[in-house]
Amino acid sequence: MPRYFLITVVLGVVGLLVLFKAAHIMFLERDYWEAVSDRFVKDSVEIYPERGNIYSADGQLLAGSLPEYKIYMDFMSWEKDSLRRIRDQHRRDSLLNAKMDSICEGMHRLFPDIDPQKFRSLLREGRAAKSHHWLLYPRRISYIEYQEVKRLPYFSLPSYRGGFHAEEFKQRKKPFGSLAARTIGEMYGGKDTARFGLELSLDTLLRGKPGLTHRQKVRRRYLNIIDVPAQDGYDVVTTLDVGMQDICEQALNDKLTELEAISGICILMEVATGDIKAMTSLTRCADGKYREVRNAAVSDLPEPGSVFKPVSFMVAMDDGYIDMDTRVNTGSGIMEMHGRRMRDHNWHRGGYGEIAVPKILQVSSNIGVSYLIDKYYYDQPEKYVDGVYRTGITEDTKLPIPGYARPRLRRPKEDGSNWSKTALAWMSIGYESQIPPINTLMFYNGIANNGRMVSPRLVKSLMRNGEVVHEYPVEVVREQMCKPKTLKNLQTILEQVVSIGLGKAAGNKLFHVSGKTGTAQVWTSAGFASEYFVSFAGYFPSEKPQYSCIVCIRKRGIASGGGQCGPVFRKVSEAIMAQRLRPEIAAARDTVHAPEPEVKDGDIAAAVRVMRTLGVQYEAPEAALGETVWGEAAAHGGKVYLAAAPQDTGRVPDVVGMGARDAVFCLEQAGLRVKLNGVGAVTHQSIKAGSPLVAGQVVELELKTSRKARKAEPRPAPSVPADTVMPPSAGQKTRSDSAAPKAPAKKPSGTPAKQDDRQQACLFDGRQRRVPTKFIRNA
């Protein structure tokens, strides 16, 4: 019996010990074991790939994933052993208190919105709370800011020693802001989900493929072992041009603001390739500002109005019913057509009377177009509709933009009872059909491209690791839209529309422009004529078309496609052509008067290397052909003269005339601290050169960009008369560049026997590679 009792007691004690240990782990060691659980070995952990970037045609970043950080502080030791934990905690607290002022001042310098006292209170609150994850700054910071924070005292320590750590977030950024916003697209905030635009349509390509990893313990450390590497997303190169996009947006926004219009569209396309160089759709918002709310350029289905009339004439000319000599009597500007009145825009002024085909399009006569189409196709409307399809204007553009629309064109056989007697006449002038502006532009682009219609192209190629992995070719919709004679006739008429017709506002005196105006009444809940859809579509220059463009505006009140959209077209065309007329730098160079190069004082060995590369004549001591030589420079007669300077490590260096980089390096190497004011070369230093050097002193440098900066402070400087060269220091030999003519060495008047004291030094960048420190301008 005592034996069973003993066993019961032992088991009871063991049970109590187990419960006690469990309670100890659950409550007293809770933080520790939660941290351990975070480091628990996991199999098949997903590796997230980097989302691809979106670039413009000239390589500028339009959308990219940039890192952002939230910074935290872990104030408590993680040592498991109690004695080691106490010692480690004491070390942490002592070091933090010692560096507290430096940390707070540094944080205030990086984030001026919070003063040092608040940072100090924040750190003390975190320590009092014994926090392992204390937020140091309320908002996310950029990569550059994060790197600067990591350089602060104490924060520069490894996280296991100091406790500073951060959480990284990938934020989708668009460096050009709202430029082409609806075309590029956007991501949902804080999510890896695309909302619209190229971000959405090309999401599977941009997203990439996730990989798999597992954690394995190697020499007391857990390492991530990659099983399946993540495949980063493709970089997408678009056809957009940032400069052209900005031109189109600004020109359209100015006109919309002037007219107080409802919305507007502007698309610019390259004739030969169909590349969309710019595309913007602006809508008036509640605050009166115009923004890209939706991509109406490809998603809207307006009735095109008079810009459709050349399509009707292309069909009729191709079928042989009309030519340039065909004439129509438009009468007084009003004509009865199957019980409805067809009016020309000048009906109240008596109309145009009898006019020929070119004049019909020049003045955009509704009667002239509808009469001819109704006359020859009334009994065979299907033939006319087939002819419209034949031109290619109704083809699917297959644009990589979600929500893009396809043209809708009525057919007599399909519509049946809905096809009225007046349908054909009104269809011929741009009603009874719905065509996106991008399709209308595609038609005019085909005329500019000598009848070869190409599909609009928005994505040019896909890249990965800087290499093109897939190119999207130019897609030809129609090799020949119409007969060559028809094309020539329309090209002639469209140029006349701008030169002598209703499209004069789109033209200019510098180059010829071709195009067609358009005005369509918009049906709203209030009925017809409460709103108008005005447009101008064309190309430039007429002789050798480079670009096609369409401008559309939806507005109330008085409407005129030529008078309201034409000026926008003119601004865009003039700005684009002005860009193309910029001369090459080589052509603009003055080859008669040799410019005088300007070289700042500093590392003259680096200056020699640069001048050799650029072919600049120079005279330098042999010592300057080595790795690094500290000295000064002067220029005369298109030639640069260099001289080495002796060094005195116990004196304040003379940095007047140096560039900011060399001046800062020279002074900091001497143990001084530097404060800069201005840009350019140093013109004044607060501590006089040659003064006894006291480590830690602050030297303020004034910088200016003037070529005569070195005269701002009186000091000995190299003087180079027209017939002399820079004298070498004692014991130095001189050596001229092979390109420079030899000249006898003379001691120039006014040159002191003793050169300025300088500290010889080497300049390296962060990767420990020697870098040039001189920039030669006008060389």
Q: What is the pLDDT of residues 688-710, one digit of tens each?
A: 888 887 777 888 888 886 544 44
pLDDT digits (tens, 9 = 90+) for 162-195: 889 998 888 888 989 899 999 999 988 767 788 9
Contacts of 459 (CB under 8 A, 6+ apart): 198, 202, 236, 237, 238, 239, 400, 472
pLDDT in tens, 350-408: 899 999 999 999 999 999 999 999 999 999 999 999 999 999 999 999 999 998 999 99
Longest dimension (CA), the chain: 132
**For residue 189, is it within any domain?**
yes
**Residue 701 in contact with residue 584, Cβ under 8 Å?**
no
**Across 506-522, average pLDDT:** 94
Rounded to 5 degrees, φ, ψ at 13 are -65, -45
Does the pTM exceed 0.75? no
Segment among 28-32, 203-207, 382-386, 489-493 with least mean pLDDT: 28-32
pLDDT of residue 591: 55
Do 548 and 644 have their domain in common?
no
8 A C-beta contact, residue 631 and residue 642: yes
Q: Render pLDDT for 39-52 as a digit per residue (tens, 0 to 9).
A: 555 567 777 888 99
* Number of structural domains found in the chain: 3
Residues 213 and 266 in one domain: no
Q: Are residues 343 and 462 in the same domain?
A: yes
Q: What gap in Å lies between CA 348 and CA 336, rounded to an integer?
A: 16
Say if residue 656 is in the same domain as residue 714: yes
pLDDT of residue 676: 83
Specify if 749 maps to a domain: no
pLDDT, position 337: 92
Residue environment code for 635-648, b if the CB has 16+ CB neighbours within 10 A, otherwise e: bbeebbbbbbbeee
Give 53's DSSP letter. P
User: Is residue 265 predicted with pLDDT exceeding 90?
Assistant: yes
Identify the domain containing residue 688 by its residue range. Answer: 602-736
| 776: in domain | no
**pLDDT score of 730 more than 60:** no
Residues 644 and 514 both lie in one domain? no
Q: Say what percent of the chain tops pLDDT 70.
A: 81
| Shared domain check, 661 and 573 | no
Residue 259: its H or E element: helix 242-259
Q: What is the pLDDT of residue 761?
A: 33
- Read off φ and ψ for residue 371, nearest 5 degrees: -65, -45
pLDDT at position 767 is 32
- Provide the pLDDT for residue 501: 95
Same domain, 553 and 654: no
Nearest CA-CA partner of 514 in 481, 544, 554, 476: 544
Number of H helices, E strands in the chain: 24, 35
* Cα distances (Å, whole numbers) of residue 723 to 56, 201, 644, 746, 779: 53, 70, 21, 9, 21
Does 17 map to a domain? Answer: no
Question: pLDDT of 293-329, one tens digit each?
Answer: 999 999 999 999 999 999 999 999 999 999 999 999 9
Of 580, 610, 626, the residue at which a domain comes to its end is 580
CATH number, residue 551: 3.40.710.10
Q: Kindly state whether residues 228 and 272 are assigned to the same domain.
A: no
Stretch (H or E) spanning 340? strand 340-343
One domain, residues 204 and 299: no
* Per-residue model confidence (pLDDT) at position 600: 64
Residue range 736-746: mean pLDDT, rounded? 41
Confidence of residue 470 (pLDDT cuts 50, 70, 90): very high
Q: Pick the residue with more confidence: 627 or 523?
A: 523
Peptide bond preceding 541 in cis form (omega within 30 of 0): yes
- Output the six-digit token pair for 332: 């007084």
Residue 760 lies in a domain: no
* Cβ–Cβ < 8 Å for 297, 405: no
- Shared domain check, 612 and 531: no
Res. 712 pLDDT band, cuts 50 70 90: very low
CA proximity to 268, closest of 581, 538, 582: 538
Shared-domain flag, residues 76 and 189: yes
- Do 567 and 608 belong to one domain? no
CA 143 from centroid of its chain's CA atoms: 19
Is 270's pLDDT higher than 70?
yes
Ordered strands of the 681-685 beta sheet: 673-678, 698-704, 681-685
- The CATH number linked to 607 is 3.30.10.20
- Spatial separation of the C-alpha atoms in residues 756 and 751, rounded to whole Å: 11
Residue 119 domain-assigned (yes or no): yes
| Strand blocks (E) in 561-713 | 602-603, 618-621, 630-636, 639-644, 673-678, 681-685, 698-704
In a domain, 374, yes or no: yes
- pLDDT computed for residue 764 by the predictor: 30
| Residue 772 is assigned to a structural domain of this protein | no
User: In which band, very low, low, confident or very high, does the pLDDT at 522 lie, cut at 50, 70 and 90?
Assistant: confident
- Res 589: pLDDT: 56
